[in-house]
Chain A
Amino acid sequence: MSTLLDDTTTPGTAGTPAPAKKGPRDGAFGNARALACRECGHEVELGPSYACPECFGPLEVAYDFPAVTREEIAAGPRNIWRYKALLPVPTDIEQSPNTEPGFTRLLEAKNLARELGIDRLWVKDDSTNPTNSFKDRVVACALSAARELDAKVFACPSTGNLANAVAAAGARAGIPTVVFIPSNLETPKKVNSAVFTEKLVAVDGNYDDVNKLASEIAGEEEGWAFVNVNVRPFYAEGSKTLGYEIAEQLGWRLPDQIVIPVASGSQLTKVDKAFQELIKLGLVEDKPYKVYGAQAAGCSPVSVAYKAGTDAIRPVKPDTIAKSLAIGNPADGIYVLDVCRRTGGAVEDITDDEVRDAIVLLARTEGIFTETAGGTTVGVLKKLVESGQLDTSLETVVINTGHGLKTLDAISDRVGPVATIAPTYDAFAASGIV
C-alpha cells in the first residue's frame, strides 16, 4: 500500500527525516474496496491515485456495501456523516475535527414554481454549508483521505468555492494548507480564502494554468494531498451526499427530475450514482428520474456536444461570469452526457444575462441569494420549461451550489437603491416609491 508519506517536508520548512513508512490503518476508507477505472474497469488499491495506469481514465471508489437501513442513517448526525457507511471514510470519522457540512435545507419553492409554471419544485440550498458552498462536502471527504494517507499538506487549485472550503477545513483540522489561485482574481475571493490560510499562492495565469501547475506539483511533491488531483476519487464521493439528502428529505423517495450545474461534471454524475446506490440498497423505490445539466453559454462544451448528438466534447476557452463553472475541458463531461441521455434528461446552456436574471428571480421569489452557478441552474430550469424539454407536472429539484455573496460582482450593477431621497416625508411621498 502506497501512502503519501515519503518525507515530511512542509511548505516553508526544511525537510526532516521521515518516520518508518506505514500504510493506512484498517478501515481507513470504510466500506470502500478499491479504486476502479470508469473507462476500462482496471482496479488499483486504495491510495493517492486518480488516473488509471492503463488508459488514463478516471479512478472511482468501488465499495462492498453492508446492509444499511433508513433508521441507522436517521440516527446519525445532521451532517454528511449520517451517510458514512456509503462514503470512503472510517467509522470514527466524527472524532476527527472537520467542518461537518451537509444536511442543508431542501426548500419547497412555491413562488418560483408558480412563476415558472411548475407544479412542485424544491431548491436544495447548499449555500448554508460552513463556507457557503457544496464544496464543503467534497472537501470533507478529501480531508479524511488526506488524514488516513498521512498527508502533510492539504492543497488545491481553485478560483473560489473550493479554495474557501479547503482553507477552512485545513484550519479546523490543523493541517497546513496551500491554495493556488489565478493572480487576477477579484479581491473578495482572495480575502475569502486568505482569511483561513497563511499560504494563498497567486499564479500568473488563468485557472487552467493553475490546474496544470497543481497536477505537476502533485506528481513531484511527497506528502501533498491535492483535493481535486491525487485524492480526487475520495473527494468526488462527497457529492453523493447531495443525492442522499434530497431523497431522505423528500421522505425516502427520488425526485422525478433534477437540474444540476456542470463544471467538470463530477457533481452531476455523483448525484446519479447516489440515486443508483439508494435503489440498489433498497432505501428508495426504483423509479425513473431525469437528470438535466446546466451550463453557461460562455463555457458549454457539454451542452454543445449534447445538442449535436455526439460523445465528442471539444474543449473551449471559457468566457462567462459563471466562473465556478468555467472548465473548458471537463473531465467528467462524457459521463454527464451518458447520465442525461440514459435518464431522458438534457443538457442546456444560457447567456450571462440570463444567469443574472435568474439570480434576481430566485432571490425575489424565494429569498435565496445564489452565486452565478446557481443562477445558471435556475436559468436553465426556466429555459427547459419554456422549450418544453422539462415536464412541469413532475416533481422537480434544482440545486443551489453556493451563496451569492461569493459572486457579488456579477450582480452588483443590476440591483441597488430604487431612489435616493432626502430624509423627509415629503421627499418620500414625492418619490413615487409606493
Chain B
Amino acid sequence: MSVSVRIPTILRTYTGGESEVSAEGDTLAAVLDDLDASYAGIRARILDDAGALRRFVNVYVGNDDVRFLEDLATPTPDGVQISVIPAVAGG
C-alpha cells in the first residue's frame, strides 16, 4: 500500500526539506518502519523508547487521529494521506 506522509517542519531535516513523502505499509506501524528505511532516524522522533507514539505528537490517517482508531495498528489504505503534527494547544 503506497501512502503519502505529511512531514512537520521539525522533521524535515530527515527528508531533505520535503514536506510530503511517499511510504509503503498496510498499517501505521509498517508505514513508519518503511519511512525509517528511507529516512534513517525519523521513526525514533515519532515513537518513544518503548515504541509508542510520543505524547506530544499527533498522527492522523486521513482526517482521524489514530488515538481514536487503532493507534499504530491503524490500517493505512492505498493512497491515504498520513499527517504527523506536533500537539497544539487550542484557543
Contacts and interface: CB of A to CB of B under 8 A. Distances in A.
Contact of A216 (B46, B85, B87, B90): B85
Interface stretch (B6-14, B28-36, B72-80): B6-14
Contact of A220 (B19, B54, B57, B85): B19
B50 interface: no
Contacts of A211: 88, 90
B67 A212 contact: no
Given A315-B68, A317-B68, A329 B63 contact: no
Nearest to B9: A219
Interface string B11-22: 001000001000
Interface residues of A, number: 47
Contacts of A314: 67
Given A56-B54, A216-B6, A329-B58, A266 B89 contact: yes
B91 to A, nearest CB: 3
Interface residues of B, number: 26
B78 to A, nearest CB: 22
B42 to A, nearest CB: 12
A23 to B, nearest CB: 18
Interface stretch (A27-35, A104-112, A228-236, A411-419): A228-236
Contacts of A330: 89
Contacts of B45: 54-56
Given A51-B56, A55-B54, A161 B91 contact: yes
Contacts of B86: 50-51, 56, 215
B63 A209 contact: yes
A331 B8 CA distance: 17
A58 B56 CA distance: 8
Contacts of B13: 53
A11 interface: no
Contacts of A266: 89
B26 interface: no
A227 interface: yes
Contact of B88 (A315, A317, A331): A331
Interface of A: 39, 49-58, 135, 138, 156-158, 161-162, 205, 207-209, 211-212, 214-216, 219-220, 227-229, 232, 236, 263-266, 314-315, 317, 327, 329-332, 334
Interface of B: 6, 8-10, 13, 19, 45-46, 54-58, 60, 63, 65, 67-68, 83, 85-91
Given A50-B88, A58-B56, 9 more contacts: A51-B10, A56-B55, A162-B91, A205-B63, A212-B85, A216-B6, A228-B91, A327-B89, A329-B67
16 contacts: A52-B10, A53-B13, A55-B56, A56-B57, A56-B86, A56-B87, A58-B56, A158-B91, A212-B85, A215-B85, A228-B91, A232-B88, A264-B89, A266-B89, A329-B67, A331-B89
